[in-house]
Structure 1
């Protein structure tokens, strides 16, 4: 139940040609305090509730619990979420033995494209595709819960 993840900015749209899957995602937060986030997400024809704990010092690891819920319940819960529902398309790209999840954001986060990779342990080696840019793993501004409160288009 520990999520180990690294985040990177994306420098080109080459990932789109390499992707094997894409889904529109809408997600909101019932709680976005730093000690815990409670997220509601619809992804295609499925929906989930997710609880995440605080990140460790590196920003790579944190507790995560997720459960699938009925889509109609998720849509009702999204109405209760804090202002700033995230709207994005997620592209999945297999590079080596890992899958990158590349999120292209819309609305107030338009222009932001972030790639995430989940690892088995923090120092696990992985291949970096040529469209992968600066690492932003430890930059809290790129957490979706923070993007819902302080959108990318509001940054200086």
Structure 2
């Protein structure tokens, strides 16, 4: 079993793009997106992955994660089984100190949302904070990808109307 420990933040500005040493386009869907258990299919840079995640701890920082590589064909076939809604984003990789921040810029109905995650070895592990980090949203379910699939950022009442023009 693998334990994932991460913290999540909103992102200010777009300085992360110039700081990134790599990026990849990601499309993902969910075969199961129940609270406490998700089964995700992901395609990134022509490769497929199947990921199973368990429930988060009380702080929303730690949870079980299992991931297995798939062929592109297998991933495309499994995408047909996914629930309605798809996550489409570019992930930028940014080094800061001894950590790598994954900065996700979302598209489609989640356009305008940019979040950064950092994986840690323990919940109390210190880390350097890049200048683009904004408010911490660790444990806030509405920022989970499985939630964004069902309740996209553009539909949140606090984002109307400027972020949702022509979104219906």
Aligned twin of 2:12? 11
Aligned twin of 2:100? 99
| Residue 137 (1) aligns with residue 100 (2) | no
- How far, CA to CA, are the matches of 2:56 and 2:65 in structure 1? 10
Deviation of the 1:29 alpha carbon? 0.2
Deviation of the 1:35 alpha carbon? 2.2
CA RMSD, Structure 1 to Structure 2 (Å): 0.5
- How far, CA to CA, are the matches of 2:114 and 2:19 in structure 1? 15
Deviation of the 1:38 alpha carbon? 0.1
- How far, CA to CA, are the matches of 2:132 and 2:13 in structure 1? 5
- Residue 56 of structure 2: SS of its match in structure 1? coil
- Residue 26 of structure 2: SS of its match in structure 1? strand
- How far, CA to CA, are the matches of 2:5 and 2:59 in structure 1? 10
Deviation of the 1:54 alpha carbon? 0.3
Give TM-score, length-normalised by structure 1.
Answer: 0.99
Gaps of 5+ in 1: none
Deviations 1:133-153 (A, max 9, x none): 000001000000000000000
Residues 25-64 of structure 1 correspond to what in structure 2 (within 5 A)?
A: 25-64=26-65
- Residue 54 of structure 1: SS of its match in structure 2? strand
- Residue 148 of structure 1: SS of its match in structure 2? helix
Gaps of 5+ in 2: 158-168
Residues 113-128 of structure 1 correspond to what in structure 2 (within 5 A)?
A: 113-128=114-129
- How far, CA to CA, are the matches of 1:19 and 1:154 in structure 2? 29
- How far, CA to CA, are the matches of 2:18 and 2:46 in structure 1? 23
Deviations 1:38-81 (A, max 9, x none): 00000102110000000000100000000000011101111210
Give TM-score, length-normalised by structure 2.
Answer: 0.92
Aligned twin of 1:86? 87
Aligned twin of 1:148? 149
Deviations 1:6-59 (A, max 9, x none): 000000100000001100000000000012100000010211000000000010
Rg larger for: 2
